[in-house]
Copies of this chain bind each other. A is one copy, B any other.
Amino acid sequence: MLLTGTLQERETYVPTGNIVNQLIGRPGMKSIEPTIKANDAPPPRAAERILQVARDLFYRQGIRAIGVDEIVRRAGVTKPSLYRSFPSKDELAASYLRHYDLEFWERFDEAVNAHPGDPRAQIVAFLTRVGKRTQRPDYRGCGMTNAAVEYPEHGHPARVVSEANKQELRRRLRAMAAAMGAGDAETLGDGLLLLIEGAYISGQLFGAGGPAQSVARNADLLIEASLKK
């Protein structure tokens, strides 16, 4: 007799442990300056080191693959220090992704600002840079995408950040497609998103010389075809 079905599946995230800290601030990291004093001294230097090490390890190896013990060991701190600054490992992962989100939009806006009023050139510029990054030997794809793959559970802190980032990206791509004058801007915007996600994945799957190197060219081709319709 199969036992399947007798156990609940848990498709939504349920937080564990440290309930108090989890409520004192959505960012998941306690504010650095609770009182307004001379801002020369950044007291919680442990939190910074932890986050820095976690970002590196989570991106390169994956979140599930890295334990908190390894993080604190490499950061040269101890476990209680981690749990004083972050409510849980899941929230630490979310903090990593929030930082990733900031860096992502910096890169994106850099390409946008380089070609004011020319969304097509903005897209091509952005994807040219993405295509180049995917060819680097240590390329590991998009931290957001990878996190969503690692945590399919709805409501998981890491996944929430990831989904928000992708929703916003979709919104902006569709807006840019509309600004290009595409007949079906939704389809073109979504097509560009598919190419981008494909580049992230193919970059880490194939390594240098993989399909991701042609993402800018293919995007330009797709734009071309979408504008002529």
Contacts and interface: CB of A to CB of B under 8 A. Distances in A.
Copies in the complex: 2
Interface residues of A, number: 62
Interface in A180-219: 186-191, 193-202, 204-206, 210-215, 217-218
A1 interface: yes
Contacts of A214: 186-187, 190-191, 194
User: What's the dominant secondary structure at chain A's contact region?
Assistant: helix
B194 A202 contact: yes
Interface string A38-66: 00000000000100010000001110110
Contacts of A76: 1-3
B225 A211 contact: no
Interface string A161-194: 0110011001000000000000000111111011
Q: What are the 3 tightest A-B residue pairs by CB atom distance, in nearest-first order?
A: A194-B198, A191-B218, A190-B211
Interface of A: 1-4, 7, 49, 53, 60-62, 64-65, 73-76, 140-141, 145-146, 148-150, 152, 162-163, 166-167, 170, 186-191, 193-202, 204-206, 210-215, 217-218, 221-222, 224-226, 229
